[in-house]
């Protein structure tokens, strides 16, 4: 007990020098000191490192890491959350960490910065992981990657963050919109400025908030095998909250559920995973049985197979892509869905296509003429940031301008092999005008033998998602889907 002086011990207790007479320090448990982090944290660290160091795509790097790991389903889900969550909130994490550091985060070793972000994500966003575990695992990860000297820094920064993060207030929207989008809503500064130009402050913040939410899983019923209502009843046995999509006729929204790759109905080819906005591009193309259709940027093939399902095995679809590995994914999907009439070809569609042969067409002429063509162009992907959170850190400000040239080349090459009266659909998964409306306007100015179909001439089911001019626009904050743009053009002579 404490005496009147506040010192611990009775009056007869021998006074000692500082430290002497106290219980001997507990010997350092060597096993604990050298213990490894959980495989979940270590895999998440490695995947994030690959994304940061070599600009790897997060979904591919994560799939590669998980496919070779012995992790259970629960731990796989946690690894996925840690990777995607850290990437999704990196801007806010960096702001909070910067309040704890005496130096710029960017001056730290990139792997060390990654470990700090991963630890900070668990502290700020996970209500399942105790703060002590988040800090301890970050220290262990630091040691596991061979940076033992930095364990003290990691421990000190994250322990302080665990105590103080709730007192830190990021810049407010009404006071500094750009800083709010960057530090509170985790957008790169150049994207923040573009969003403000397009949507204004409130709209930009709403867009950013929507992009920071994990997307629900949406699937497309394979209408050659099953109708949507029957599939919905089947899926509701394991996903009771499943419901019909709001916009696309074959869509079913499943919510946030686990790995569909193990679902028997998926393995049997009864459905494909595809966002509802992406499905609407197929509605814009409106493929008909017996037609000959070209998809110039086909892989990995969600739209190509969607087109094939509409063809009922009559006519043919030719899917081009310049990436042979990605075409193999498409071919696997065709087999799983048991579709016929879909052909693939490794080809760069920015180059002339006039030597193509239309599969299944007996009267192939010197110049191919397709009935319908889909140009689902490579783009900056700002509409799918929910699904690809790494894209916001990989895409640079100059990329949309560079991609615009590729997109225009794809349109020109496709137009050359479309029959008179044929349909050409141009689509992207971005919201930037220079990749969308501006591309269509530029093409029409230079190709007066084409016109854009207005809303009144498009399928009735698209009425709620196209403007009067006939342009399809969906956004995460307004429609709950990925951000998509599409326009349907017709060759008039």
Interstrand relation of 316-321 and 342-346 (parallel, antiparallel or unpaired): parallel
Contact 225, 338 (CB under 8 A): yes
Instruction: Indicate the SS3 state at residue 318.
Output: strand
Residue 463's pLDDT band (cuts 50, 70, 90): very high
Paired residues of 322 in beta bridges: none
Report the pLDDT averaged over residues 399-418: 97
Residue 258's pLDDT band (cuts 50, 70, 90): confident
Contact 232, 242 (CB under 8 A): yes
Residue 16 has pLDDT above 90, yes or no: no
Task: Give pLDDT tens digits for 54-111.
Answer: 989 999 999 999 988 999 888 999 999 999 999 999 999 999 999 999 999 999 999 9
Contact 173, 201 (CB under 8 A): yes
Residue 360's pLDDT band (cuts 50, 70, 90): confident
User: What is the distance between the alpha carbons of residues 403 and 391, in angstroms, rounded to a whole number?
Assistant: 15
* Per-residue pLDDT at 11: 32
Residue 256's pLDDT band (cuts 50, 70, 90): confident
Residue 199 has pLDDT above 70, yes or no: yes
Residue 32 has pLDDT above 90, yes or no: no
- Whether omega before 146 lies within 30 degrees of 0, making that bond cis, reads no
Residue 30 has pLDDT above 80, yes or no: no
Structure tokens at 281: 């591009």
Task: Give pLDDT tens digits for 264-317.
Answer: 999 999 999 999 999 999 999 999 999 999 999 999 999 999 999 999 889 999
User: pTM here?
Assistant: 0.88
What one-character-per-residue DSSP string does 332-371 give? Answer: HHHHHHT--SEEEEE--TTS--TT---TT-TT--SS--EE
* Per-residue pLDDT at 317: 97
Straight-line distance from the first to the last Cα atom of the chain, in angstroms, rounded to the nearest whole number:
99
* Per-residue pLDDT at 257: 76
What one-character-per-residue DSSP string does 136-203 give? Answer: HHHHHHHHHTT-GGGHHHHHHHHHHHHHHGGG--PPPTTT-HHHIIIIIS---HHHHHHHHHHHHHHH
* Per-residue pLDDT at 34: 56
Round the average pLDDT of the chain to a whole number and report it. Answer: 91
In the chain, what percentage of residues exceed pLDDT 90? 85
Any catalytic annotation for residue 211?
Answer: no
- Least reliable range by pLDDT among 15-24, 44-53, 86-95, 418-427: 15-24
Residue 236's pLDDT band (cuts 50, 70, 90): very high
Residue 5 has pLDDT above 80, yes or no: no
Residue 23 has pLDDT above 60, yes or no: no
- Which of 141, 211, 297, 429 is catalytic? The answer is 429
Residue 35 has pLDDT above 90, yes or no: no
In the chain, what percentage of residues exceed pLDDT 70? 93
Residue 262's pLDDT band (cuts 50, 70, 90): confident
Residue 363's pLDDT band (cuts 50, 70, 90): confident
Residue 375 has pLDDT above 50, yes or no: yes
Contacts of residue 378, Cβ cutoff 8 Å, sequence gap at least 6: 297, 403, 406, 407
């Amino acid at each position: 007990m404490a005496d009147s002086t506040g010192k611990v011990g009775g009056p007869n207790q021998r006074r000692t020098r500082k430290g002497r007479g106290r219980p001997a320090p507990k010997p350092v448990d060597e096993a604990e000191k050298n213990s490894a982090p959980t495989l979940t944290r270590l895999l998440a660290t490695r995947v994030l490192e690959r994304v940061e160091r070599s600009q790897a795509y997060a979904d591919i790097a994560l799939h590669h890491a998980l496919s070779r790991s012995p992790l259970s389903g629960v731990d796989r889900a946690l690894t996925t959350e840690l990777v995607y969550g850290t990437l999704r909130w990196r801007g806010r994490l960096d702001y909070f960490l910067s309040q704890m550091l005496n130096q710029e985060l960017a001056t730290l070793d990139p792997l060390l910065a990654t470990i700090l972000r991963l630890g900070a994500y668990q502290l700020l966003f996970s209500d399942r992981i105790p703060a002590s575990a988040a800090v301890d695992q970050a220290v262990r990860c630091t040691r596991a990657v061979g940076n033992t000297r930095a364990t003290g820094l990691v421990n000190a920064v994250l322990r302080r963050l665990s105590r103080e993060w709730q007192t830190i207030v990021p810049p407010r929207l009404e006071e500094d919109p750009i800083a709010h989008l960057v530090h509170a809503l985790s957008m790169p500064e150049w994207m923040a400025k573009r969003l403000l130009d397009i949507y204004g402050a409130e709209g930009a913040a709403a867009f950013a908030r929507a992009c920071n939410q994990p997307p629900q899983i949406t699937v497309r019923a394979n209408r050659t095998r099953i109708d949507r209502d029957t599939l919905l009843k089947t899926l509701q046995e394991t996903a009771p909250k499943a419901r019909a999509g709001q916009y696309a006729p074959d869509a079913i929204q499943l919510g946030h559920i686990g790995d569909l790759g193990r679902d028997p109905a998926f393995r049997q080819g009864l459905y494909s995973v595809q966002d509802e906005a992406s499905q609407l591009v197929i509605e814009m193309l409106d493929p008909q049985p017996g037609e000959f259709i070209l998809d110039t940027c086909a892989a990995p093939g969600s739209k190509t197979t969607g087109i094939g399902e509409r063809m009922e095995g009559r006519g043919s679809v030719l899917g081009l892509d310049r990436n042979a590995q990605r075409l193999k994914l498409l071919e696997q999907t065709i087999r799983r869905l048991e579709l016929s009439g879909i052909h693939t070809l490794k080809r760069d569609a920015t180059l002339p296509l006039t030597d193509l042969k239309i599969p299944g067409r007996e009267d192939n002429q010197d110049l191919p003429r397709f009935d319908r063509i889909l140009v689902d162009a490579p783009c900056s992907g700002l509409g799918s940031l929910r699904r690809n959170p790494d894209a916001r850190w990989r895409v640079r400000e100059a990329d949309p301008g560079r991609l615009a040239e590729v997109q225009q080349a794809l349109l020109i090459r496709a137009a050359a092999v479309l029959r008179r009266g044929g349909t050409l659909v141009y689509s992207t998964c971005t919201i930037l005008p220079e990749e969308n409306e501006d591309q269509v306007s530029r093409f029409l100015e230079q190709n007066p033998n084409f016109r854009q179909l207005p809303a009144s001439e498009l399928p009735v089911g698209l009425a709620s998602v196209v403007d009067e001019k006939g342009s399809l626009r969906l956004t995460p904050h307004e429609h709950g889907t990925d951000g998509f743009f599409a326009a349907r053009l017709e060759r008039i002579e």
